[in-house]
Amino acid sequence: MNLSKNIQTIAKETLYKEAEAIKKVADYIDDEFEAVVNDILSMKGRLVITGVGKSAIIANKIVATLNSTGTPAMFMHAADAIHGDMGMIREEDMVMCISKSGNTEEIKVLIPLLKRTGAKVIGLVSNEDCFVAKHSDRCIRAIISEEADPNNLAPTTSTTVHMAVGDALAVSLLLARGFTSEDFAKYHPGGSLGKQLYLKVDDIYPKNELPVVQETDLVKASILVISKKRLGAAAVVNAQNELVGIFTDGDLRRMLENHDDFSSLTIGEVMTSNPKTINTGEYALRALNMMRQYDINQLIVVDQQNKVVGFLHISDLLNEGIV
């Protein structure tokens, strides 16, 4: 391998060039960009994004980001559009054409056809003096000075900048719509991300046994309850059924270290007072964060009256896949 620079230097220079290009393109975020955002917010149809080559790949990514953040969007390959796919376009839609040069043949053929449908056309280009910029209803400029490769040919900086501008567009729309984490969860119900956003402790704890003992119960009887319920702990309540403590396997080990004879010991004498609890209705992610914060494996679930209703174990959260 004959290189004038080492691999690490080449990689770092590539990243620096692309990062600098993104910083510079921020200067082109202007009234036209804001008008595009407002047009999309007020449109009655969908935002259709098109391109060819690498621009088509970027278009697909922007479509995915928009759909997941509350803006209905579709991808249409520019080459396929002029061979039948334009049938998806409606007058109430908007079409964004992504092109570095803005003079791609397929796009030049497509834009006049789009105009006939009545759909508004938006350009996203890296060349101000181009066909797309001149014939679009609106145009977002993402100007770059050079690509990251030494020959200034491979789509590198231009695709990175276009994708970043797409993210800026999506986030602007997201905030303008008042899109919340709850809304995000509706579009991401699967996987660990979705579960972190919507899964609540109420969805988990009813599946578990509920080991509860009285503070006046003898330790021996309490251990049998813990063993039967198989959670490695028991909530301890008083005569009014109020939570006063927890007895875990750690408490059991400490008791055995400190007491040779525990036949007459009550659970209230060896329990841990003021146990960590979580309320019903809380998100499971909060339970996980509490377990991590306090380095514990169980949480007692309580209702609004601070009555014990269930148990959560770290294994429950592992099984649900939110860790």
Domain ranges of the chain: 7-179, 201-320
DSSP state of 266: B
pLDDT for 1 equals 57
| Statement: 7-179 belongs to CATH 3.40.640.10 | no
Please indicate whether residue 42 or residue 262 has the higher confidence score (pLDDT): 42
User: What number of other Cβ atoms are within 10 A of residue 162's Cβ?
Assistant: 28
Sign of the dihedral defined by the CA atoms of residues 298, 304, 306, 308, in that order: negative
CA distance 15 to 18: 5
CA distance 161 to 63: 16
- 106-124 pLDDT, tens digit per residue, is 999 999 999 999 999 999 9
CA distance 283 to 278: 9
Estimate to the nearest angstrom the gap between the alpha carbon of 117 and the chain centroid.
36
Tokens 């609004």 sit at which residue? 304
- 136-151 pLDDT, tens digit per residue, is 999 999 999 999 998 9
Domains 7-179 and 201-320 share a fold: no
State the Cα angle at 144 between 140 and 150, rounded to 5°.
Answer: 150
- Joined together, the tokens standing for residue 195 give 């579960």
- 165-197 pLDDT, tens digit per residue, is 999 999 999 999 998 777 776 666 665 566 666
CA distance 181 to 203: 19
Q: Which residues are annotated as a binding site for Zn(2+)?
A: 77
Which of the four pLDDT bands, split at 50, 70 and 90, describes residue 24? very high
Residue 38 has pLDDT above 80, yes or no: yes
CB 110, CB 97: distance < 8 Å: yes
Q: Beta strands 308-313 and 233-237: pairing type?
A: unpaired
Residue 80 has pLDDT above 60, yes or no: yes
Q: What is the Rg, in whole angstroms, of the alpha carbon atoms belonging to the chain?
A: 30
Q: Which residues are annotated as a binding site?
A: 77
With H, G, I as helix, E, B as strand and everything else as coil, classify residue 187. Answer: helix
User: What number of other Cβ atoms are within 10 A of residue 80's Cβ?
Assistant: 15
Residue 323 has pLDDT above 70, yes or no: no
Share of the chain above pLDDT 70, in %: 94
- Joined together, the tokens standing for residue 247 give 């007895």
Compute the half-sphere exposure of residue 48: CA atoms within 13 Å on the CB side of its CA.
Answer: 24
- Identify any residues that bridge with 124 across adjacent strands, giving them in sequence order: 98, 140
Q: Which CATH architecture group holds 201-320? A: Roll (3.10)
Closest CA to 76 of 49, 95, 54: 49
- 217-269 pLDDT, tens digit per residue, is 998 888 888 878 777 788 999 988 889 999 988 888 899 888 888 888 899 89
pLDDT for 233 equals 86
- Joined together, the tokens standing for residue 137 give 């209803």
pLDDT for 195 equals 66
